[in-house]
Amino acid sequence: MNSITIIHISDIHRDKGNPISNEALLAALLLDIEKYKDLGIEKPDLLLVSGDIVRGIGFNETVDELEKQYNEAFLFLQELSNELFNGDKSRIVIVPGNHDVNWLTSKNSMDLIDDQKVITDKGILKKEIYQQYLEHTSSIKWSWSDRKFYRIKDMDLYNSRFLEFKNFYERFYNFDNIEYSIDPDEQINIFDYPEYGITIVGLNSCFHNDHLSRAGGMNPSCISKLSLKLREYNRKGRLILSLWHHNTTGGPYDSDYIENTFIQNLMANDVKACFHGHQHKQKIVKQEKNIMDEKNLLLISAGSLCSGPHELPNGYKPQYNIIDIKIQESNVKFNFHSRVKSSDSTFDNPIWETDNFGSNKSFSYIIEHKIKPVNYLAEAEKLYSMQDYNKAIFLLQRADLDNPLVRKILINCLSETQNYNLIIKYFRKPMTNEEAVHLLNAVINKNDTELINEIKNNDFIMQSNDESINYLLNQLG
């Protein structure tokens, strides 16, 4: 059984009127994480950030201000990765939100359409304009503030409204194979965690979202491509999760949510749970495809981690989620825990406490999911070739340690990461000269007298004529 703990935070934009420093936010989270053991929760394995990384800028502000906000978010998430994952940023999944759209760029990409081109001589809206406006990928936008139509004159400029997010994203990950495209047809990022049996898909729910259009949207091209990309992970039996920003329902007077027909595509591709934010409310919804297929999908919403009082819905506080996932042979059990700012703590120095799901302090739900046998050696070989040594080590520890190839790759990974404790644990009785050399080197670095005496008297090492082994034995004295 695999057990994974996920922290889900969202809407980490800072309130201009009620700012909270990185130090205060980080200290509050780390203090709360130390309480997890008392709640029966393990240390976090992954962190999901479902959009709205920054507050954004208005028309009277500059891009410098936007970059300043992204730098603050960068430093916060970087320090969080250092504290939780020893700096392994691949364990953090980030997607953009509507606040990450640069309104200055979207405004500069549009021109006002002259009334004569929009309205007939009788003062009626022209049919062709209205039809174009209704198209899903329309370049025509309506402004309620001045009751005028605008047209996107430069689509490349319009797409670059995510340029500052892209720069932040690529600076944060700083990996050769992770980038963020401003091409809306390519805004899919897949994070695969073979050591946990999980694949997470990051999507952009801000398709055609800009300073004139508050509605969320999912690019149909991305959803189509996603079906092709997920085939490989479904064949491997991964538990597939997804992450985006917008909520999928809204009130009768709301327009800033995403139309949810794409959910059917996700269920068809065996996506089991999806995480989002945006509405600043904690919520869990079960979506069903139909009775015949009996496919379920969970929609999990997190509140805002650090919004100020006037940015939160009435009666809501800053909040985040913890999801404890148990992957069993035939199903997956999701255990949800909600953490909310206590009433007697301040916004700039929050203290987190348990928030109820209805009348319960936690909520659990089981979804059918059949695990396929994992070829740990094949997965580990691939990770080793990619120099992802820590993930390879995690898998190899589950493989047959009597297999010579498993042992060879494991000793190389442990050597690359200088993990002397695990070298001693798994190779205390070496079977090859190479293993003996790595073991002796680990013992020298640990400088444990009792351990040195034990290894010096090991039968394999004592009988070896290998020059390297003899040299290291001399080093031990």
DSSP for 297-329 reads EEEEE---SS--GGGSPTT---EEEEEEEEE-S
Q: How far apart are CA 427 and CA 396, in angstroms?
A: 13
Q: Rounded CA gap, 311 and 15, in Å?
A: 8
Residue 339 near residue 353, CB atoms below 8 Å: yes
Beta bridge partners, 360, equal 357
pLDDT at 185 over 70: yes
Decide if pLDDT at 360 tops 90.
no
Question: pLDDT, tens digit, for every residue of 390-445?
Answer: 889 988 888 888 888 899 999 999 999 999 999 999 999 999 999 989 988 898 88
- CA angle centred on 328, ends 323 and 330, rounded to 5°: 120
- Give the pLDDT score at 287: 79
- Report yes or no: 200 and 242 within 8 Å, Cβ to Cβ: yes
The percent of residues above 70 in pLDDT, for the chain, comes to 97
Mean pLDDT (whole number) for 195-215: 94
Comparison of pLDDT for 253 and 114, the residue scoring more: 114
Per-residue pLDDT of 284-338, as tens digits, reads 888 777 666 677 899 999 999 998 888 999 989 999 999 999 988 788 999 999 9
Torsions phi, psi for 11 (to 5 deg): 50, 65
Query: Which two tokens mark 117?
Result: 């081109």
Question: DSSP letter string over 427-472?
Answer: -SS-SSHHHHHHHHHHHHHHT-HHHHHHHHT-HHHHH---HHHHHH
pLDDT given for residue 286 in this prediction = 81
Provide the pLDDT for residue 375: 76
Taking the CA atoms of residue 246, residue 250, residue 253 and residue 259 in that order, the dihedral angle to the nearest 10 degrees is: 70
Structure tokens at 292: 């015949």
**Tell me, what's the pLDDT at 176?**
64
- For the chain, percent of residues with pLDDT exceeding 90: 57
pLDDT of residue 352: 96
Asked if the model's pLDDT at residue 112 lies above 90, the reply is yes
- pLDDT, residue 374, reads 66
Query: pTM value?
Result: 0.83
Predicted confidence at residue 292, as pLDDT, reads 60
**Residue 293: predicted pLDDT:** 67
| More confident call, 101 vs 460 | 101
Euclidean distance between the first and final Cα of the chain, in Å?
Answer: 45
Q: Supply the mean pLDDT for the chain.
A: 90
* SS3 label, residue 272: strand
- Using one digit for the tens of pLDDT, what is the confidence trace for 59-104? 999 999 999 999 999 999 999 999 999 999 999 999 999 999 999 9
Which is nearest to 57 in space by CA: 69, 67, 66, 45? 66
Tens digits of residue pLDDT in 272-283 = 999 999 999 998
pLDDT in tens, 3-33: 999 999 999 999 888 889 999 999 999 999 9
Statement: residue 1 has pLDDT above 70: no
d(CA 347, CA 305): 10
Nearest to 283, CA basis, from 363, 217, 342: 363
Tokens 């954004």, located at residue: 56
